[in-house]
Amino acid sequence: GEDVEQSLFLSVREGDSSVINCTYTDSSSTYLYWYKQEPGAGLQLLTYIFSNMDMKQDQRLTVLLNKKDKHLSLRIADTQTGDSAIYFCAESPPGYSTLTFGKGTMLLVSP
Amino acid sequence: SQTIHQWPATLVQPVGSPLSLECTVEGTSNPNLYWYRQAAGRGLQLLFYSVGIGQISSEVPQNLSASRPQDRQFILSSKKLLLSDSGFYLCAWSTVLYEQYFGPGTRLTVT
């Protein structure tokens, strides 16, 4: 079955770049997503990438997709304390109405 | 623009009591609707999803049930709560591209 893996924790200093990694097993995934969850809140869709793309950039966010290795990453440039949150990777297999989520990476940004 | 509402925001219920959580979506028609539970371990567990009125798919057998009495209304229920039902319940809706948008969540504590 489908599986999405993420490292559980990442700590960076304010102003540095953060890179959050994700691996998935379903090579037929159509879309891959990054969500952000702040404490006590719902998940916020940050960005998504279609499987025929290698990279997508949106302001401070850069998504890289390596389909061969089934590896997805989210880079946050100039990380701020407000970026501290849990980040979830998710995939959308074709023909399914559901997403498969990873367990989330907790990003802690220290001043 | 589309918005999603959940209520109540927090709930404390004794073991064995009934449960009803409500989710409504505005600004879209015929959305896919989802109920997730997020326990202390942070991962998201998909409980139910619905692709239309009266159509409910259950992902995890348990003492919870879901109903969709109207196009943009999704209800999560239980006749008798268990301690293990405590958690953060999230409702979400999606478009045909399957990216999901989440509500603010309901924090349920079963005592």
Q: Which amino acid is at B18?
A: P
Secondary structure class of B85 (helix, strand, coil): helix
A99 interface with B at CB cutoff 8 Å: yes
- More confident site: A55 or A96: A55
Q: Mean pLDDT, to the nearest integer, of A1-7?
A: 80
Interface-testing mutation among A3, A8, A37, with chain B (most B C-beta atoms within 10 A):
A37
Distance CA B54, CA B62 (A): 19
Tell me what pLDDT residue B98 has: 67
Average pLDDT, chain B: 92
DSSP 3-state of B67: strand
Q: Which tens digit of pLDDT belongs to each residue from A16-57?
A: 999 999 999 887 777 899 999 999 899 999 999 988 889 999
State what percent of residues in chain A have pLDDT above 70.
96
**How confident is the model over B47-81, as pLDDT tens digits?**
999 999 989 999 886 899 999 999 999 999 999 99
Closest to A90 in 3D by CA, of A20, A29, A16: A29
CA end-to-end span of chain B: 38
End-to-end, the C-alpha distance of chain A in Å comes to 41
Amino acid at B43: G
* Distance, CA of A37 to CA of B5 (rounded, Å): 17
Cβ neighbors of A5 (< 8 A, separation 6 or more) are A22, A23, A24, A102
Spell out which residues of chain B touch residue A97, defining contact as CB-CB under 8 Å: 32, 49, 51, 94, 98
